Chains A and B, each alone.
Chain A
Amino acid sequence: MTTLLDVRDVSKRFTMGGIFGRKTVDAVMDANFSLSAENPEIFTIIGESGSGKTTLARMILGLEDPSEGEILFRGKKVSRHGGRAEKLAFMSQVQPVFQNPFEAFNPLKKIERYLESTARRFLQTSDKAAIDRAMDEALQKVGLSLKEVRGRFPHEMSGGQLQRCAIARALIPNPPLLIADEPVSMVDASLRMSIVNLLKSLRDDLKVSVIYITHDLATAYYISNRLIIMQRGRIVEMGDARTVLDNPQHPYSKLLKASVLSTDDAGDGKLATDPGMVKAAGDLVGQAGELVAKPDGREVRVYG
């Protein structure tokens, strides 16, 4: 078994403020996980704002360097520095899908521009027909076609369609790994499932691994194989998605699950969260503890 992505003891510390009152913030602390190259999977990172999930994603994309530890992609270190050729080679392997499809496309420019540039650069061709073919193939994979997209501006499409275009663009270099940072949070409710289902089919049909970053436990349960739950920079629980979410063990994971709004008793107006639960989870912030493997395969952070 070869590893596709190996995140080893990664920490990220940001220094804030000027000369006076310098403050350091630990955005990510000791993150460890790896993805295998043979079994494509959807690996979910769950966390709220400030949990460090976006920082972790930025480090995997090579936009930020870890303060400690290292990230290896196919055995090579991911780094913010390095030549342009090296960066392009990395980008052809790891591609991002952004949160807000309306923001991901310059509103003044045509959509196809991004697809075309990707095809030209990563397929290293300037043959018009070949570029068009690559664009169309990628768009077919997400249920669109070049005919529908050509000449259109972002505002002429729905959020769902735009997000498909963004995914199609990311697929052009045939990358083995996609990093999707909250890809559905800005997409309309009626179109959301089509994007989630699309991610699923990327894994099943195209054998692409996806790192899916979200705060939504329900979609995470629906599509992911494995997941990690992050609280203030620390991984507090990690393991098989179903195992963890069906029966979370860390107090914070329990709180997250309890906070998911259920539709099972719609109209009954049951909203109270157990304050003891909130306190139990809050008290653990800042404590190091350590991840301990459990018999069912998951790892849970335990303290003291």
Chain B
Amino acid sequence: MAEDIVKVEGLKAYYQMNYFGVSREVRAVDGITMTVRKGEVYGIAGESSSGKTSFIKVLAAAIRPPLKVVEGSVKFDFKNGPIDVATATPKQIEAVRWKHLSYIMQGSMSVLNPVRRIGRTFHDFAARPMGLTGKAFEDRVIAHLARLKLPPEVLKAYPHELSGGMRQRVTIGLATVCHPEFIIADEPTTALDVVVQKEVLSLIRDIQKEMNAAVVFVTHDMSVHANVADRVGIIYAGRLVEEGPTRDMFFAPKHPYTAHLVASLPRIGDVKQRPALEGRPPNLADPPQGCRFHPRCPLAVDKCRQEVPPLEQVGPDHRTACWRWQDVKPLVNASAPSGVMA
């Protein structure tokens, strides 16, 4: 089994705010323990305000007030030595950022400075971590862009001159040019059209394989996870509720929330009435007692309302936090007709 690139243990990160003497605490990340292995794609799924954004902020070592790590550790094992980003100093983080730990962000327009040529942006981001200048640096960048099927001319272009798909490829290039060991991809394809989305996803997948980097891929879209991730972790209300190999998560989920997410995806060729989940995701400033999913859970019993279920091992690599995981039935059949593919 591959080694771990990052070990997250009992991570709790809260937003602590104080406005006009009213202090409130939002428990965005409330006790997450997980690991990401070297060279794998780990998919993180969760709804808005589930805490997934805060969690990856901590992973990306971008912890800024009001977000605060209250407990736990995030230990990376990089080639240049281990680092715990929950407690590291800004200087230590600076040393690993971009070279070992980089990220692909959602809006390519916000990463790329609209008034600088792409080449300049590459220089700004990557020249220092790579320790190269001038021609040597440019050659490396051009070689890297070629891998992403981008012509060297893009270096002379301004961001607005490129199409959305090209821009997203440029940001991927920017994130991967230093050959980092760990990449966080935060909804990198959400704003893209379906045709381009597929292209960009396969690109991320290819370059990840080639560099043998670990990727944490965050998106709320389960069908993206199905095609990109090796393992998927589901975050609900600040906690990891289930994690497992992608195939198992889709065809043998052991948490009712996962089962629902998978079942609610409509498919071409199948018009069966899809179930809808009622209720709303809990307020993280005042989460429900016990299992946080119980108010919306069809399987909830009294125990769920009082006791927090632990994350238990239920299969190889498969963990779930549900008291009744044995009763969770997949709502879709693995051998369901998939329609006539063209």
Contacts and interface: CB of A to CB of B under 8 A. Distances in A.
Given A192-B264, A278-B195, A222 B342 contact: no
Interface stretch (A20-28, A122-130, A246-254): A246-254
A269 B268 contact: no
B298 to A, nearest CB: 13
Interface string B244-261: 011101110000010011
Contacts of A257: 268, 341-342
A147 interface: no
B4 interface: no
Contacts of A160: 280
Interface in B240-294: 245-247, 249-251, 257, 260-262, 264-269, 271, 273-278, 280-281
A55 interface: no
Nearest to B250: A266
Q: Which of B224, B262, B266, B340 has the largest number of chain A CB atoms within 10 A?
A: B266
Interface string A259-285: 111111111111111000010000000
Nearest to B278: A194
Given A246-B339, A263-B262, A264-B338, 15 more contacts: A48-B195, A189-B264, A190-B257, A192-B264, A194-B277, A221-B266, A222-B271, A248-B342, A259-B194, A263-B222, A264-B336, A266-B250, A267-B245, A268-B247, A269-B228
B138 interface: no
A2 B48 CA distance: 44
Interface string B133-165: 000000000000000000000000000000010
Contacts of A161: 280
Interface residues of A, number: 48
A261 B227 contact: yes
Contact of A221 (B164, B193, B246, B269): B269
Given A246-B340, A259-B194, A273-B199, A193 B274 contact: yes
30 contacts: A49-B193, A158-B281, A189-B45, A189-B221, A190-B47, A190-B257, A190-B296, A193-B274, A194-B277, A197-B273, A217-B194, A218-B266, A218-B267, A222-B274, A246-B268, A246-B269, A246-B340, A247-B340, A247-B342, A254-B342, A259-B198, A261-B221, A262-B338, A263-B223, A263-B250, A263-B267, A266-B247, A267-B247, A268-B247, A269-B227
Given A259-B194, A259-B197, A267-B226, A193 B342 contact: no
Contacts of B261: 189-190
Given A193-B275, A247-B340, A266 B246 contact: yes
Nearest to A50: B193
Contacts of B201: 261, 271
Interface of B: 45, 47-48, 164, 193-195, 197-199, 201-202, 205, 220-230, 245-247, 249-251, 257, 260-262, 264-269, 271, 273-278, 280-281, 296, 336, 338-342
Contact of B266 (A49, A191, A196, A271): A196
Contacts of B247: 266-268
Nearest to A217: B268
Nearest to A157: B280
A217 B249 CA distance: 23
B281 A266 contact: no
Nearest to B272: A222
A270 B277 CA distance: 29
Contact of A188 (B47, B246, B249, B336): B47
B342 A215 contact: no
A233 interface: no
A278 B341 CA distance: 17
A197 B276 contact: yes
Contacts of A37: none
A245 B270 CA distance: 11
Interface string A278-296: 1000000000000000000
A260 B269 CA distance: 12
Nearest to B246: A267
A63 interface: no
A188 B220 contact: yes
A262 B228 CA distance: 11
Contacts of B340: 246-247
Q: Which of B194, B223, B257, B261 has the largest number of chain A CB atoms within 10 A?
A: B194
A246 B342 CA distance: 8
A193 B202 CA distance: 28
B84 to A, nearest CB: 31
A273 B246 CA distance: 21
A99 interface: no
A263 B226 contact: yes
